[in-house]
Amino acid sequence: MANQGVLQAWLYGKECVSMEPKPARPYHLVLLGAPGVGKGTQAEFLSEKLGAVQLSTGDVFRAAKAADAGALSPAMQDAMAAMKAGKLVSDDTVIAMVRERAACLASGYGFLLDGFPRTVQQAEALDEMLADLGLKLDGVLNYTLPTEIVVQRLSGRRTCRQCQATAHVIFNPPKQDGVCDKCGGALFQREDDRPESIRVRLQAYEESTAPLAQYYDAKGLLITVSAEGSPAEIFARTEALLKQAVSD
């Protein structure tokens, strides 16, 4: 179970307090992986195993969207304005937002950074923040999967028009074709789950992340993990590679 005190502080910028016991060995990790590789599931497993808190910038933005605009910090208000205008959130804005929450990086539980850094500029800023906090990254887990497998995984997803629940035509088929098991609503394929859209998204991811992977590889921190197989198999692989790469 992720530490709720740190997570609340990360999501809502609250004070970082918690009564839960800290792990003897806090891990400081970055997770990289294209949409569809199962990075979120691995983050959950890792969080459970290592006691580290999963910190996702995407989650912060989703929480901010639901929050009262007046309660948001200046950096968050900038980020919301950019997203509303359909623009990418700039590096400076994301960096400012993470900086506001730097205490969460040094909570003593360790962290699994997910969705940040996304660019080399963000990675450099993270290095600075960690140096200021007297911390170092232990490793960068880079989950990889051939494009065609990602396309197969994502393009089989169907979403319920009524309750938004999801099914998968191969891996989690509904009892009745095209009908949601949960509420009986109609299942459909979202525009961004179509193979053409998935390929475009994957290419964009590849272009933006390749320099980041190189950046961490040059520092000897990159741990490449094949994301083929079941979540349990991928996790066993992750643990073995982490053990090899990270000393206690």
Is 157 assigned a catalytic role? yes
Q: Is 74 in the site for ligand AMP (CB under 6 A)?
A: no
Please say if 136 is a catalytic residue: no
Q: How far apart are CA 39 and CA 33, in angstroms?
A: 6
Under rule CB under 6 A, residue 54 binds ligand AMP: no
* Strand pairing report for 157-160 and 166-168: antiparallel
Q: Residue 118 or 158: which CB sits closer to ligand AMP?
A: 118
- Map residue 187 onto helix, strand or coil: strand
Helix-strand-coil split of the chain, %, nearest 5: 50, 15, 35
14 is catalytic: no
Rounded Cα distance between 78 and 98, Å, is 13
CA 163 to chain centre: 24
* Alpha carbons 147 and 94: distance in angstroms, whole number: 28
**Catalytic residue flag (residue 201):** yes
Query: E strand or H helix at 93, and its extent?
Result: helix 91-100
Which residue's CB is nearer to ligand AMP, number 58 or number 178? 58
Q: Could you say which of 39, 101, 153, 158 is catalytic?
A: 39
Of 66-74, 114-122, 169-177, 201-209, the segment contacting ligand AMP by CB under 6 A is 114-122
Regarding 10 and contact with ligand AMP (CB under 6 A), the answer is no
- Rounded CA-CA distance 24/170 in Å is 42
- Please give the Cα distance from 162 to 150 (Å, whole number): 26
Distance CA 142, CA 130 (A): 20
String of contacts with ligand AMP for each residue 178-217, x by CB under 6 A: ----------------------------------------
Q: How far is the CB of 136 from ligand AMP (least distance, A)?
A: 20
Min. distance of Cβ 51 from ligand AMP in angstroms? Answer: 23
CA distance 169 to 43: 25
Residue 40 in the binding site for ligand AMP (CB under 6 A): no
| Interface region with ligand AMP, contact rule CB under 6 A, candidates 113-121, 166-174, 188-196, 232-240 | 113-121
Q: Which of 5, 9, 28, 61 binds ligand AMP (CB under 6 A)?
A: 61
Please work out the total of residues on this chain that contact ligand AMP, with binding judged by CB under 6 A. 9
- Name the residue among 27, 10, 16, 41 with its Cα closest to residue 112: 27
Which residues are part of the catalytic machinery? 39, 118, 157, 190, 201
Which residues would be at the binding site for ligand AMP (CB under 6 A)? Answer: 57-58, 61, 89, 94, 115-116, 118, 122
